[in-house]
Amino acid sequence: MAVSLGTDGFRLARIAALTFSAALGLAAAGLMFEASIQDGVQLWDVLRTLLILVTTAWLAWGTMQALLGLPPRRTLPERGEIGLPHAPTVVLVPICNEDPVATFARIAAMDASLDAAGVNADIAILSDTRDDTAATRERDWFARLLAERHGDGRIFYRRREVNTGRKAGNIEDFIRKSGGGYEFAVILDADSLMEGATIREMIARMEAEPELGLLQTLPKIVGAQSLFGRAMQFSASFFSPVFARGLARMQGRTGPFWGHNAIVRVRAFAESCGLPSLSGRPPFGGHILSHDYVEAALLARAGWKVRVDEDIEGSFEEGPENVVAFARRDRRWCQGNLQHSRLIFAPGLKGWSRFVFVQGILAYVSSLIWGAFLIVSIVAAVTAPAPDYFPDIYQLFPVFPDDRTKQIVGLAIGIVGLLLLPKVAILTESALNGRAAGFGGRLSALRSVLCELLLSSLLAPVMLMYQSRAVLQVLTGRDGGWPANQRGEGRLSLSDAWRASAWISVVGAASLAASTYLAPELLIWLMPVSLPMVLAPMLIAWSSQPAGQGVFRVPQEDQAPAVVAAYRDIHGTWAGHAAPEDTGTGGRLDAAA
C-alpha cells in the first residue's frame, strides 16, 4: 500500500502552489503597471500588465511543482510480490504505420524479459495500419516473432478493419471484445520498452491496492543520438523525476495518464472510460485526440484512484531527434489540449481534473500570450506620449519623468530567475543526495545542465513560434488530424530546416526591423527572442546533428538496461534479414480479436 501525504497534505500542496503562483504573478503585474504609468495610463499598459500577470503566474506554477518535488518521499510504495499465478494481464501495443522490424523486435525483447521475470502475460499487437502492403509486412514480421519466441497462444496480432477513434478507439475495441479475460492491461506505445520486472512490480502494486484504477510510470528516453534528442533524454532522466514527484504531491487521487507505459485495471477502464465523439467538426469536435487526460478524469470521476509512481524503474520510450519532428507531434497535442475546453464543465468531474484541463490549455496558449506581450510592449512604446518637461505654464525648471529602469530590470531578472530556479534547485539536490553520480558526477551533471539551459534558451523562441502557430491554426478551425509518426527521423540539412522554419526567420527579422524603426529603446530586450528566430534554420539543423556520448550523459548509458540491450541485439539481427513468408499463421494472427 502506498503511503501518501493524506488529504490535508495534498490540499496544502495545492494551496501553496496556487498562492505562490498568484503572489508572483501579482508582483510582476504590479512592477509592470508601475513602470508603465509614468506617462499616464493607456489601454496598452493595462493589456501588458494583464499579460505579464498570466505568464509570470504560469512560470511560477512550474517552479513550484519542482520545489514541491525536491524532498524525497518519506515512505515509498511497498515493493509488493505478486502471487502465483498472478492476475491475468495483457500487454497492449497499439501500432499504426510503424516500422515492423523495430516494433516486433521491441516486443520480442519484452517477451523474453517477461519470461525472465516470471510474468505470464499475453501480448496483443493492435494494428490500425491502413496500407495493405504495410500490413502484409506486419504479418510477415509477426510470423518471425512467433517463430523465434515460440509465442503461439500468448502473443497475438489483429488488424482493425475500421480505425474509428484512432489509438483510444483501438484500445477500446480490444477491451470490449477481449478485455473480459484480463484483470490488468499494460498500455504501451509502439516505441515503448519495459523490463519484465517492471511489469511484475506494477502488477504487484495494483494487486495490493484494489482501489487503484491506473498506475502511470515515468518513462525514460533511450537511444537518442542528436544534440536535441540527447538534451531531451537528459531532461527526462534528470529533471522529470522531481517534477513528477511534485505533481504526485498535488494530485491526490486524481493523477495523470500520459497514454502509454502505464497499467490499468481492465474493469475500471471498461466501466469508466468510454469516450464520446464530440459534436461538431474538428478541431474542436469529432474524436478526442488527447484521450489520456480524459480517461484519467473519467476514472477519477468513477471513484478510482489514478497515480504516478516516479520511483518505478525500467520504463522506456524513444523521443524525437529534431525540433521539426517534435513540433509535428506537438501540433497534435496542442489540438487535443485545446479540445479539452469542451470538457472542462462536463458533469461529475473532480475539481482537480477540470484544473488539469485548464493547465493543458495554458501550456499552449501561454506561448501565444508571450507573443502578445511582446507585440503589445512595442505598440505601447510607439504610442506613448512624448514627455512633458514643463507641465505648468509658469514652471521655471523642467520636470524629468521618473526613471523606471530598475523596476523593468528587476522584473526581467525575476522572470529569468523563475526559469532557472527549478533546474538549479534540482542540480543542487542531485549533488547533495548523490544522484548526480549516475550522470557522470557533479561536474558532468553541472556541465549537462548548463548545456541544456543554453540549448533550451536558444530554441525557446523557435518553439514559441511553432506553438503559437499551432494554437492559431486550431482557433481558426484548421484540423491537424493525427499524422503518422516519423520515428527515427534524425539529422536535418540546412535546406530541410529552412523549408520548415523560413517563416520563423522572416517573423524574427521583421520584428527586429520594426523595433529598430518604431521603438529602438526596446531593441536590446527583443534581441534574445528575435535573434534565435532569425537563426531558426541554423539552430534546427545544428541541434539535429549527432552528439557525442559524453554530452548529456545519463545513467542508462553506462550500462544499457537489459531489455534495451536485448532489443538492440534483436533489431540488429533482424534488420539485416528478410522476414519469413507468412505461412499458415492466420488463425494465430487474429486470435486476440
pLDDT band per the 50, 70, 90 thresholds, residue 396: low
Q: Is 548 helix (H, G, I), strand (E, B) or coil?
A: coil
Measured CA to CA in angstroms, residue 212 lies from 13, 15, 76, 306 at distances of: 22, 25, 16, 6
Section 477-487 average pLDDT: 74
Q: Determine the pLDDT at residue 582.
A: 44
What count of residues does the chain have? Answer: 593
Q: Determine the pLDDT at residue 2.
A: 38
Q: Determine the pLDDT at residue 488.
A: 56
Peptide bond into 320 cis (omega under 30): no
CB 197 within 8 A of CB 317: no
Q: 161 or 23, which is more confident? A: 23
Which tens digit of pLDDT belongs to each residue from 352-372?
Answer: 999 999 999 999 999 999 999
Q: Determine the pLDDT at residue 592.
A: 38
Q: Is residue 442's pLDDT more than 90?
A: yes
- Residue 121 CA to residue 124 CA, distance in Å, equals 10
Which tens digit of pLDDT belongs to each residue from 199-209?
Answer: 999 999 999 99
Q: Grid coordinates in use for 331?
A: 501540433
Residue at 429 is within a domain = no
Residue 493: closest CA among 304, 322, 240: 322
Residue at 279 is within a domain = yes
- Residue 180 CA to residue 118 CA, distance in Å, equals 23
DSSP sequence for 426-470: HHHHHHHHSGGGGGTSHHHHHHHHHHHHHHHHHHHHHHHHHHHHH
Write down the mean pLDDT value for the chain.
89
- Residue 512 CA to residue 531 CA, distance in Å, equals 8
pLDDT band per the 50, 70, 90 thresholds, residue 585: very low
- Residue 492 CA to residue 542 CA, distance in Å, equals 8
Residue at 504 is within a domain = no
Residue at 147 is within a domain = yes
Q: Is 482 helix (H, G, I), strand (E, B) or coil?
A: coil
The pTM is what?
A: 0.90
- Residue 63 CA to residue 156 CA, distance in Å, equals 45
Q: Any idea which of 206-215, 275-284, 286-295, 520-529 has the lowest mean pLDDT?
A: 520-529
Cell numbers 484540423: residue: 479
- Residue 110 CA to residue 116 CA, distance in Å, equals 10
Q: Is residue 517's pLDDT more than 70?
A: yes
pLDDT band per the 50, 70, 90 thresholds, residue 13: very high
Q: 571 or 1, which is more confident? A: 571
pLDDT band per the 50, 70, 90 thresholds, residue 434: very high
Q: Any idea which of 194-198, 403-407, 518-522 has the lowest mean pLDDT?
A: 403-407
Q: Determine the pLDDT at residue 483.
A: 67
Q: Grid coordinates in use for 559?
A: 550500462
Residue at 154 is within a domain = yes
DSSP sequence for 168-220: HHHHHHHHHHHGGG-SEEEE--TT-EE-HHHHHHHHHHHHH-TTEEEEE--PE
- Residue 135 CA to residue 590 CA, distance in Å, equals 13
**Domain encompassing residue 193:** 89-321
- Residue 235 CA to residue 312 CA, distance in Å, equals 17
Q: Grid coordinates in use for 99?
A: 516500422
Section 129-155 average pLDDT: 90
- Residue 329 CA to residue 28 CA, distance in Å, equals 33
Measured CA to CA in angstroms, residue 335 lies from 101, 342, 465, 558 at distances of: 31, 12, 16, 38
Q: Any idea which of 274-283, 319-328, 388-397, 522-531 has the lowest mean pLDDT?
A: 388-397
Q: Is residue 431's pLDDT more than 90?
A: yes
pLDDT band per the 50, 70, 90 thresholds, residue 84: confident
DSSP sequence for 219-261: PEE----BHHHHHHHHHHHHTHHHHHHHHHHHHTTB----SSS
Q: 226 or 557, which is more confident? A: 226
When divided into structural domains, the chain yields a total of 1
Residue at 198 is within a domain = yes
Q: Any idea which of 35-39, 78-82, 124-128 has the lowest mean pLDDT?
A: 78-82
Which tens digit of pLDDT belongs to each residue from 42-54?
Answer: 888 899 899 999 9
Peptide bond into 422 cis (omega under 30): no
Q: Determine the pLDDT at residue 391.
A: 57
Which tens digit of pLDDT belongs to each residue from 315-345?
Answer: 999 999 999 999 999 999 999 999 999 999 9
Q: Determine the pLDDT at residue 523.
A: 86
Q: Is residue 4's pLDDT more than 50?
A: no
Q: Grid coordinates in use for 548?
A: 557525442
Q: Which of 28-32, 534-538, 552-556 has the highest mean predicted lDDT (pLDDT)?
A: 534-538
* Domain at 136, CATH number: 3.90.550.10
Section 506-535 average pLDDT: 90
Residue 509: closest CA among 529, 489, 487: 529
- Residue 250 CA to residue 505 CA, distance in Å, equals 40
pLDDT band per the 50, 70, 90 thresholds, residue 593: very low
- Residue 356 CA to residue 256 CA, distance in Å, equals 9
Q: Any idea which of 209-213, 284-288, 556-560, 576-580 has the lowest mean pLDDT?
A: 576-580
Residue at 390 is within a domain = no
Q: Is residue 348's pLDDT more than 50?
A: yes
Q: Determine the pLDDT at residue 252.
A: 87
Section 196-219 average pLDDT: 96
pLDDT band per the 50, 70, 90 thresholds, residue 399: very low
Measured CA to CA in angstroms, residue 180 lies from 89, 261, 265, 266, 270 at distances of: 11, 21, 11, 8, 9
CB 33 within 8 A of CB 49: yes
Measure CA 290 to chain center: 12
Residue at 176 is within a domain = yes
